[in-house]
Amino acid sequence: MLFNSAQFIFLFLPAVLVCARFLRGNPLLIWIALTSYYFYSFAGDAWFLLPMLFTTVLDFGLALKIDRAGAVERRILLCLSLCGNLGLLVYFKYGGLFSRTFAGNGSALASFFDVALPAGISFYTFQTMSYVIDVYRRRCPPERNFWSFVSFVSFFPHLVAGPLTRHDQLIPQLHRIAREGIAPRWREGLFLFALGLAKKSLLADRIATLIDPMIASGPDGALRGWLCAIGYALQIYFDFSGYTDMAIGLGRLFGIELPKNFDSPYRASDIADFWRRWHMTLSQWLRDYLYIPLGGSRCSPLRCGINLLITMVLGGLWHGANWTFACWGMFHGVWLIAHRFLAPRLSLPAIVRQGTTFLGVTVGWILFRSTNLSQARHWFAQILGLGGVGRGAETPSEQALILLCLVGLVIVHQVPNSGTIRLDRLPVFQRVLLGAAAGFAVLLMNDGAKFLYFQF
Amino acid sequence: MKAFLAAFFLVLVSATVANYCLDPLGKRALTPEVGELPPGYLYPARGGNVHLLKLRMLRHAPPGSDFILGSSRVLAWGTPQFPPGRPVVNLAITNAEALDYFPLLDELIHSGNAHAVYVELSPWTFSARTRDETPENRFLERPPERYSYEELLSFSVLRQALLGLRNDDLPGRPLAPGNTERYGYRPDGRFRYPASYEARSTSEVVETAVSAASAPHIELLEAGLNLEKVRRLCDRVRALHAKQVAVQLLTVPWNPAATQRVAQRHLSYTVQSVHEELVEAVQRSCDEPVHRFEAACPQEEFFDDHHPRPACFDRLAAKLELLTSGRGGSDRTEGPPGDSKSAAADPASRLDSGKGHP
C-alpha cells in the first residue's frame, strides 16, 4: 500500500483518522503503532516487520539501561546498539555488495547475503541510532513509554521514505496528542498531500515513463544524454519532494508537524547551499552524527577535507549498496572540498552560480541513476559529445519530455516552495487549477511507479 | 478550500461518470446481434463473447452456406476464395480448441442446411494439454461485471473511453467501417486484419515468426494428442455426412521460417512430425482423408509465424478445387485425382511440399 494508491487514500487513511479521533493516551499510541505496522506490512513482505521490531525493542531497552549505567557500561551498551543497528544495515543492505565484490557472484557468502532489502530500513535505523546516541550523550532522557517509542519509529507518514525525523521532533508531539487527542489541520494537511500527489503523479511519473526506456537502452548523442540527465534531475526532485509533501501533509492530519526536507534545492547558489536545501533531514543527521564527531571543520584543512569526503561517500552509500552511489558521494565530497577552498577566491554573478550548481548536480545524478559504472561512463561520454550531437526531439515522446522538462524547470526555479504556499492566499483561479491537478493526479495514480526513495 | 475541493471532486466525478457510462472495459457489453447473412459485415466488437457471436452467425447463415471452423489461423479465409455467389461463414475463433468446435458442429448437424464444412486440424487444437470439458457458459452471454473503484478512478481507463468514443470503438458495438485497427469482415464478406498487421513487411514477418516459434504456446505441441477429442470430432463428421453435408478436414500452412526455426531448436518434435501424428490419428479414427497444407505457402504469404494471408488461402482454394474436381468440396466419395490419404503418405505427392517457393 502506497500513499498514491486508492486503498490508502479512500480506505486506510480515513479509517485510521476516524478511529484516532476517539482515542486518547496509550490506546491512541497503540492504534498509531498497529496501523503503521499494518501499513508497513504492505510495503513489501510481512517479514519486513521483524527487523523493525528488533531495532525498536533493542534501542528502547538499551536507552533505558544506558541512562542508569556507569561510564564504561554506557559505552558498551552504546556499542551494542550501534552494532545491532549497523549489523542489520550491513546484512540487509551492504553484505550483498561486498560479498559480490570480494567473493564473487556465485559464492556461498554472496548467497548468504542475497536477501530482499526491507523498505525504509535506512530511515528507521538512523532514527533510532540518533536517539540512542543522544541518550548516551545525555542530550535527552530515555523514553519510558514503550508505545510512544514504537509510534516514533513506525509512524507511517515518515516510515518508508522519511523525512528522517529525530526523537526530539516527534516524541514530544506524540505525548501531546496522547494527552489531548489528535487535532487535525485538515486544510493544510489535505492541501499539502494533494500537492505532493500532483508532483508525483503528474510530473515525476510522467517524466519517468519517458526517460526510463531511453536510459535503459543507453542515451545516444549529447542531446539525448542531456535530456535524460535533466529529466532525471527533475524526476527525482518531484518524486522525493512529492513524497515528503504527502508525508508532512499526513502528519498534519494527525496534528503532527514533521520536519521540512526540501527548500527549493535547485535554486541553490553553490553546492554547500544545495546540501542545506536537499534532503535536509539526512544532511543534518550526517552533519550531527558523522561529520562533527569526525572533527568537522574545526581542524586542519586536510583533515577537514577528509572528513567531508568520508561523510559524503558514506552518505552516498546510505542510498544503496552500489559503487555508483559511493562515486556519487565522492563526486559531491570533492565538489564540496573544492568549493570550500575556491569559493572565497571566486566572485561570480548569482545567476551563473545558480546555473552551474544546477548543472553540476544534474551531472552528478548520472552516477546516482546509473545501475553500474559502465552505464555511467557511457552516459558521461554522451553528454560530453563523444557520441556526437545526436537527435533530441524527433519522436513525440522526446517532444513530450522536452515540454515536461521545461514545465519542471519553471516550477523548480520560479514557483514558491510547497511548504510556503498557503491555499487561502491563492487567487480562486489558482485554487481551482490546483484542485483539478490534484484530481488528475488521483486518476493517474495507478499508472505510476513506486517512490524512488523506497529502495533506500 | 471550497474552490480547491470543488475542482478536485469535479474531475473525479466526471471521470467516474465517463468511465461508467462509456464502459471502455466492456464489463457490461453485450455480444452484437447478428442480422441475415450474407452480406457479411464488420461484426467483431470489443467486450462481447466471440463464441456466442459465431454461434449467432451460424444460425443466421443462409441455407446451403459453406462454413469454416478453426482458430485465428483461418480467419483470413472466406468469400473471395469460394465460387462467386456462394455464401461463406467463417466461424473461426481465436485460440480455438477442439472443444470450441463441438457445439458449432452440433449446431450444424442440428440445422443440416450446410453445403460444406471446412475444419482446421492443428496439433495444438487437439493437444493433450487443452481442457477436457467446455465451460458451460462458453457460448452464452457473459453476465455484466462491476467496475472497481480503482478502474472508475483511472486515467488509463478514461483515456480508453475517450479514444473509443472518438474512434467509434467502444465495447459491445459492431466494428465501425472506419476503424482500421481491429479485425473484421467487410460488407462483401472479405476479411480485414488491422491496418498495422497488414502493413508488416516480409522481413518483419520473418523476424516475428522466428521469435514466435520460440514462444511458450508452442509447448502445447510437445504434449501429444488427446485421442478422445479426435474421436469426438470424427463422430460429428460422420453425423454431418449422414445429413449429406460435405466435410473437408485440412491442416493449415505454417510460415517456412518458423518451421525451420522449430527444427533448429532440436526439440523432440518438428512441425512436420506433429502434423503427421495428428493426420494419422484423424485418418485412423474418422476414416476420412485429410488435406495437408502445412507447407503449402511461401513466407511472404504470412502475417507472422502461423497466420496465413488471404493470398495463401487463394493457393489452398485452388488446390481444394483441384482435389474436388471443381465441386467446392461437395462430395467426398468422388475424391481428388490423387487420394489425399496416399498424398499424406507419400511426401513426393503432397499437395505442397514448399518446393519452388522463394
The string of pLDDT tens digits covering residues B210-238 is 666 555 556 666 667 888 889 999 999 99
The nearest CA of chain A is from the CA of B210 a distance in Å of 23
How many angstroms separate the CA atoms of B81 and B288, rounded? 23
Q: Which residues of B220-240 are buried (b: 16+ CB within 10 A; e: fewer)?
A: bbeeebbeebbebbbebbebb
Please give the radius of gyration of chain A, using alpha carbons only, rounded to the nearest integer: 22
Q: Record the pTM.
A: 0.72
Best of A195, A431, A443, A447 to disrupt the B interface (most B CBs within 10 Å) is A443
Predicted confidence band at B357 (pLDDT cuts at 50, 70, 90)? Answer: very low
Question: Do residue A428 and residue B156 have CB atoms under 8 angstroms apart?
Answer: no
* pLDDT by 10s per residue, chain A, length 456: 778 788 888 889 999 999 999 999 999 999 999 999 999 888 777 888 899 999 999 999 999 999 998 889 999 999 999 999 999 988 888 877 777 677 666 677 777 777 777 888 889 999 999 999 999 999 999 999 999 999 999 999 998 887 999 999 999 999 999 999 898 888 889 889 999 999 999 999 999 999 998 888 888 888 899 999 999 999 999 999 999 999 999 999 999 999 999 999 999 999 999 999 999 999 999 999 999 999 888 888 899 999 999 999 999 998 888 889 999 999 999 999 999 888 878 888 888 999 999 999 999 999 999 988 999 999 999 999 888 887 767 788 888 999 999 999 999 998 888 888 887 788 888 889 989 999 999 888 876 565 555 555
Instruction: Identify the pLDDT of residue B194.
Output: 81
**Nearest C-alpha of chain A: how many angstroms from B158?**
9
Per-residue pLDDT reduced to its tens digit, B335-346: 222 233 333 333
Asked if B279 and B121 touch (Cβ cutoff 8 Å), the reply is yes
Q: Which of B7, B150, B158 sits opposite A435 (nearest CB)?
A: B7
- Which chain B residue is nearest to residue A437, measuring alpha carbons? B8
Size (chain B), residues: 358
> Which of B8, B13, B149, B152 to mutate to probe the A interface, most A CBs <10 Å?
B8
Across chain B, the runs of DSSP E, i.e. the strands, are: 66-69, 88-90, 116-120, 184-185, 191-192, 246-250, 290-291
Concatenate the DSSP letters of all residues of A308-367 into one string: HHHHHHHHHHHT-SSHHHHHHHHHHHHHHHHHHHHGGG----HHHHHHHHHHHHHHHHHH
The reply to whether residue B7 touches residue A439, judged by beta carbons under 8 angstroms, is yes
Q: Do B154 and A446 touch (CB under 8 A)?
A: yes
What residue of A is the nearest CA neighbor of B16?
A443
Delimit the domains of chain B by residue range: 42-129+181-327
Q: Which three cell numbers stand for residue B137?
A: 457458459
Cis peptide before A293 (omega within 30 of 0): no
Three cell numbers at B197?
498487421
| Partner-chain residue, chosen from A6, A433, A435, that has the shortest CB–CB distance to B5 | A435
**Beta-bridge mates of residue B249:** B119, B290
Q: Flag whether residue B199 sits within 8 Å of chain A, measured between CB atoms.
A: no
CATH number listed for the domain at residues B42-129+181-327: 3.40.50.1110
Max distance between CA atoms of chain B, in angstroms, equals 86
Optimal mutation site among B2, B4, B20, B152, interface A, most CBs of chain A within 10 A: B4
User: From the list A194, A435, A443, which residue is nearest B153 (CB)?
Assistant: A443
| Helix ranges (DSSP H) in A113-221 | 121-136, 146-154, 156-159, 167-180, 186-198, 205-216
Give the position of cell 523514553.
A143
Residue B213 · residue B207 · CB < 8 Å: no
Asked if residue B261 has pLDDT above 60, the reply is yes
B7 reaches A (C-beta below 8 A): yes
| Residue (of B337, B324, B317) closest to B84 by Cα position | B317
Is residue A285 within 8 Å of A191, Cβ to Cβ? no
Q: Among all residues of chain B, which has the CA nearest to that of A442? A: B153
Q: What long-range pairs does B343-348 form, CB within 8 A, spacing at least 24? A: B343/B292, B344/B276, B344/B279, B344/B283, B344/B289, B344/B290, B344/B292
The x, y and z cell numbers of residue A233, run together, are 534531475
Would the CB atoms of A439 and B10 count as touching at under 8 Å? Answer: yes
CB contact under 8 A, B7 and A447: no
| CA neighbours closer than 13 Å in the CB half-sphere of residue A327 | 17
- Minimal Cβ distance to A432: which of B3, B12, B158: B3
DSSP letters spanning A68-119: HS-HHHHHHHHHHHHHHHHHHHIIIIIHHHHHHHHH-TTSHHHHHT--PPPT
